[in-house]
Structure 1
Amino acid sequence: MPLDASPAPDTRPRTAVLLQWVGMGDLVWHVPYFRSVAQTSRDGQVSVIASPTVFAPQLIGHEPWVREIIDFDRHPRRHEGRKGRHAGVAGLWRMGVELRPLGFERIVLFTNHGNRSLVAVAAKIPERLGYGTSWLQRRFLSHGPFIERYRGPAVSAYKDATAFAIAQGWCAEPIVPSLVVRPDALARMQTRFAHLPRPLHVLAIGCSEPYKQWGDANFAALATELAQAGHGVLMLGGPAERAFADAILARIKPALRARVAAMVDGSVADSVAACALADSCTGNDTGVIQIAAAVGTPTWVVLGPRPLLEHDPKTLHNIAAPSLEAIRPEAVAQTVLNA
């Protein structure tokens, strides 16, 4: 190439990806496919449109394929007691109007909901890709290929995203979710929990719904078994779990409490780092469980009778039973200790 020649312009489309779901685990499941879309986009990056409830800035904001993160304020957290700016049909249209100045040439809708396509139409984005699992959604999309909605026994969100990515040619097979740990958060967690013995076990004690909660007595019994083996235990949750963590600690014998700690005041990035430092993670079906598996930590999720998680069969193990009450902490402890 002549010395004065300019590099060829990047003709790949300026792209946004939109996430339908509102939980941290939902974002984790979609990350590998967002990365794949970025590889076919301008500058190898995408703009991520997601609910603030998924904590995208802390989970993926530092990764190089993320151009920016745009809040999709449709479902605020319950304790906020307000209506989202993008709630309802009018809110979806408003979201699209807000996107117009950004000049997207392509939007990729990771959703089965036809109404999310209104965002793409209102934004006047020419190429609109989505699952196309309903006639309504197909009317708003620019072209296929479309997929059939997953109807099997496992959790569907990852299954649909995988089928969509394969149909579009962004990957040839399912991709196991992974996250990149922030170095600053890793350093903080190494210092904060240096006093805990190793091996170190994380217990994911939070949950978004009461029916997913294993209970303080079970977590206390599991922590006791692990601590009696001479191991360290770190309970992870959010500010809403402060009283719950205190209740668990109160059930643990004083002689063992030096081996057990709780973190309910850390950032999401801190939780990612703590999971990366741990030797195992066990707990409710919550975002921390998905995060732990995504950083490569052997993980057990207490599911009970609910649909299985099948996105990472090597790292994430389902503990299924006719009910949560049927899952005994002593048996879980032996599984973890013998792994």
Structure 2
Amino acid sequence: MAGPVLVYTPDRGIGDLMWHLPTIRAIAATTPEGQVVLVARPASRASEVLAVEPTVARVLHAPNYKGKLKGVREVIDFYRICRAETPRAVWILEKIDRPAIAAFLAGVPERRGFGLGHGQETFLTTGPYLPKAMRPAHRIDKLEAFEKGHGLVVTSREPQLKLDPKAIAAVKARYADRPGPWLSLGIGASEPARTWPAERFAETARRLSDLFGAVFWVGGPNEAESARAAIGDLPNNVVACDLPLDRSAALIALSAGFLGNDSGALNVAAAVGTPCVGLMGTAPVPAYSRWLSRLDGGEGRIADIMVDQAVEAVRTRYESERWDNSHA
């Protein structure tokens, strides 16, 4: 058989990766082997997030450079990947031209991409291309139009992220003494405009203490200190900022619910089927999943979201949907 099918996803966020999962699986379904090789930015952490995804055979990294020569460096990097992998096809889930140029120079026989009236189209072999008018559309809308145009079968936009059973077992063992139901708080974010104050998370946790036996503060190592300071002497609140990504996802999956910033953790919550309330700042993620509801402060000001609103949003869904840990 000829070389693999490569799927190129240029976005840097974990959330972006979750949006692409249905498309990636649909492309894999068109191949005899039922798998693709994913080329992704290191910041997406795709190699960790998709470690047990059956439709992704391997994950290769395409760094995102800065500076005047970033475009040239990206072309060279992907050219080298194509020469090493000798793919029979490349699918580019964006309009950027660098991977298309590299695939053309490497002689990849089948090259598909968004197009969008961009220079990329010159280096592609197989349409149809998305119209230029769709450039302002959200990525999910572009993916849906692309899938339809290329005959890809996607029956649901739910990412349904697969988790490593070993990670789930490890989290269960670590927190076996913590009473349920559990609430996870996603306190991290990529920028201040998407970050709700830690003190408001603490006050929300305090006011929801009658519903949840334990509250886990989920974030990166940089959030651990501010989480501990905000928690103070609040009982049954646990700083879980030291978990590797697979165990953090497992903890979210084992929780009855999730409240958090517009971040990768929020998208992971939706992807693993945990009911989640997203605190929206700039460029808010759409409610693409049935598990996700949005709480928007208005005009992208996450600081305008009050504790009363967050408490009401969680409490209302908890009571109407009968949240518990049994869904995990």
State yes or no: 1:171 paired with 2:148. Answer: no
Contact 1:221–1:330 (CA under 8 A) maintained in structure 2 = no
Cα distance in 2 for residues equivalent to 1:53 and 1:92: 19
Shift of 1:109: 0.2
* Aligned match of 1:93: 76
Superposed CA RMSD: 2.1
Shift of 1:173: 5.4
Contact 2:74–2:98 (CA under 8 A) maintained in structure 1 = no
**Cα gap change, 1:272/1:113 in structure 2, threshold over 3 Å: closer, same or farther?**
same
Contact 2:101–2:120 (CA under 8 A) maintained in structure 1 = no
Contact 1:60–1:66 (CA under 8 A) maintained in structure 2 = yes
Q: Secondary structure at the match of 2:226?
A: helix
* Aligned match of 2:230: 248
1:219 is matched by which residue type in structure 2? Answer: F
Aligned pairs (5 A) from 1:104-115: 104-115=87-98
* Aligned match of 1:57: 47
Contact 1:14–1:46 (CA under 8 A) maintained in structure 2 = yes
Q: Secondary structure at the match of 1:28?
A: helix
State yes or no: 1:266 paired with 2:255. Answer: no
State yes or no: 1:328 paired with 2:313. Answer: no
Cα distance in 2 for residues equivalent to 1:137 and 1:168: 17
- Using the size of structure 1 for normalisation, the TM-score is 0.86
Cα distance in 2 for residues equivalent to 1:98 and 1:330: 51
**Cα gap change, 1:299/1:230 in structure 2, threshold over 3 Å: closer, same or farther?**
closer
Query: What is the total number of aligned residue pairs between the two structures?
Result: 312
1:324 is matched by which residue type in structure 2? Answer: I
* Aligned match of 1:286: 263
Shift of 1:43: 1.1
State yes or no: 1:124 paired with 2:107. Answer: yes
Contact 1:14–1:41 (CA under 8 A) maintained in structure 2 = no
1:18 is matched by which residue type in structure 2? Answer: Y
Out of 202, 208, 223, the residue aligned to residue 184 of structure 2 is 202
Contact 1:202–1:236 (CA under 8 A) maintained in structure 2 = yes
Out of 277, 285, 294, the residue aligned to residue 318 of structure 1 is 294
Consecutive unaligned residues of structure 1, counting only runs of 5 or more, are: 1-9, 76-82
Shift of 1:194: 2.0
* Aligned match of 1:151: 136
Q: Secondary structure at the match of 1:74?
A: coil
Q: Secondary structure at the match of 1:43?
A: coil
- Using the size of structure 2 for normalisation, the TM-score is 0.89
* Aligned match of 1:236: 218
State yes or no: 1:337 paired with 2:322. Answer: no
1:67 is matched by which residue type in structure 2? Answer: A
Contact 1:213–1:284 (CA under 8 A) maintained in structure 2 = yes
Shift of 1:24: 0.7
For residues 124-173 of structure 1, what are the alpha-carbon distances to aligned partners after superposition, in whole Å with 9 as ceiling and x for unaligned?
21100000112301111112011132535xxx122212221221111255
* Aligned match of 2:24: 34
1:189 is matched by which residue type in structure 2? Answer: V
Aligned pairs (5 A) from 1:291-310: 291-304=268-281, 306-310=283-287
Cα distance in 1 for residues equivalent to 2:136 and 2:156: 17
Cα distance in 2 for residues equivalent to 1:54 and 1:305: 19
Contact 2:193–2:281 (CA under 8 A) maintained in structure 1 = no
